[in-house]
Amino acid sequence: MKILAAMSGGVDSSVAAAVLVREGHDVHGVYMKNWINEENIIGHCPWEEDIVDAEAVAKQLGIPFRVVNLMTEYREKVVKYLLEGYQAGITPNPDVMCNREMKFGVLWEWAQEHGFEAIATGHYARKEGDRILRGADSNKDQTYFLAMMQPHQVHIAQFPIGHLLKPELRDLAREFGLKTAEKKDSQGICFIGQVKMEDFLRTFVPDNPGPIVNLDGKVLGEHRGLHLYTLGQRKGHGVASPLHKQAYVVVAKRSPSNELVVAIENADTPLLWARKAVLHSISSTGAPLHDERTLQAQPRYRCPAGDAAFRPLGEGRAELEYTEPQRALTPGQICALYDGERLLGGAVFESIQHA
């Protein structure tokens, strides 16, 4: 196959390209230039270094390489979504949207125009036919970030490293002699770099201070803007713990009164735990999710998927009822839906029903 390998300059996408070359495919490397930090946001935006590393690996592999400038599309499809979401008081996920709108959206359109049959990435995910399965390395599984992909995108996606454990991937990178073999994994916003979300948001959204209150309405401090906080957040809200081994956690954001609500965290903290939610913008990686069923729903990355009843409401909405209470379900966040190891699709939390 003629495959376009999205190369970020990291070890995962480097090995993905190397595996495809070894398998005999006609592989071309591409770096998606999405961001160059013109706003001078605090943090490290290593796009120049990443391009150098990606190009060096492509040269080692003997494959063509080019940089594709998608900065305009990234601002429109990912940054705008991110900022509008936070300004509306919800918690969006730019990494999920980057995959659907950019890698397997805008970049795929470019790839088709240049005769490519598929796009490969360094995601820890597996494919069987047109089904996406969790990556073999449970600590690195990234199928959550693929939850909003559509069937035609799944069809042309290749995940060459999904069968590997991370130590095995590092060993393979050394075996291939890749420049990125020892490069540390990035932890920043999708294709931007080591930039904290708070610093990113404060560059574009002005502070809007207001009171931090407890469940009884007592003022405990002042926040800098509701958009800078997330439900379930334990640290960084500025309210000190009252006693040893007790901590305040964010349980609500009241936009009309501009109040950030915190409470002492325990197994019964009001507003922190919930079993029921309404989902919207349901997206399926395969057959449409039209029928009532039991499945596993993962409310955020690095969180176990819980058993839940899925009840369609029509028009891309559904009710989700977990078997066990879930911590800090949050409007705007992505909910990935599974049948065992198989990724069924995803949706966005619309509202949460607290007991």
Which H or E element spans position 216? none
Q: What pTM was computed for the model? A: 0.94
Domain of 135: which CATH number? Answer: 3.40.50.620
Catalytic, out of 45, 98, 303, 335: 98
Q: What is the pLDDT of residues 133-149, one digit of tens each?
A: 999 999 999 999 999 99
| Domain final residue pick, 172, 198, 224 | 198
| Domain final residue pick, 198, 216, 245 | 198
User: Do 248 and 287 fall within a single domain?
Assistant: no
Q: What is the pLDDT of residues 187-218, one digit of tens each?
A: 656 656 667 788 888 888 899 999 999 999 99
User: Do 104 and 237 fall within a single domain?
Assistant: no
User: Could you tell me which residues come within 8 angstroms of residue 193 by beta carbon, excluding any fewer than 6 positions away?
Assistant: 35, 37, 43, 44, 45, 46, 47, 186
User: Is 303 tagged catalytic?
Assistant: no
The answer, yes or no, to whether residue 40 has pLDDT greater than 70, is no
Could you give the percent of the chain with pLDDT greater than 70?
Answer: 94
Catalytic, out of 45, 190, 303, 335: 190
Report the chain's mean pLDDT, rounded to a whole number.
93
Please state, as a whole number, how many other Cβ atoms lie within 10 Å of the Cβ of residue 324: 9
Q: Average pLDDT for residues 303-313, to the nearest whole number?
A: 97
User: Do 182 and 301 fall within a single domain?
Assistant: no
Exposure of 337 by Cβ count < 10 A (0-12 exposed, 13-18 middle, 19+ buried)?
A: buried
The answer, yes or no, to whether residue 2 has pLDDT greater than 80, is yes
Quote the CA–CA distance of 172 and 27 in Å, as a whole number. 18
Could you give the percent of the chain with pLDDT greater than 90?
Answer: 84
Q: Which residues span the domain enclosing 138?
A: 2-198
For the chain, how many structural domains are there in total? Answer: 3
User: Is 190 tagged catalytic?
Assistant: yes
pLDDT of res. 203 = 85
Domain of 332: which CATH number? Answer: 2.40.30.10
Sign of CA dihedral 231, 98, 344, 124: negative
Q: Average pLDDT for residues 34-48, to the nearest whole number?
A: 67
User: Could you tell me which residues come within 8 angstroms of residue 223 by beta carbon, excluding any fewer than 6 positions away?
Assistant: 209, 210, 211, 212, 229, 237, 238, 260
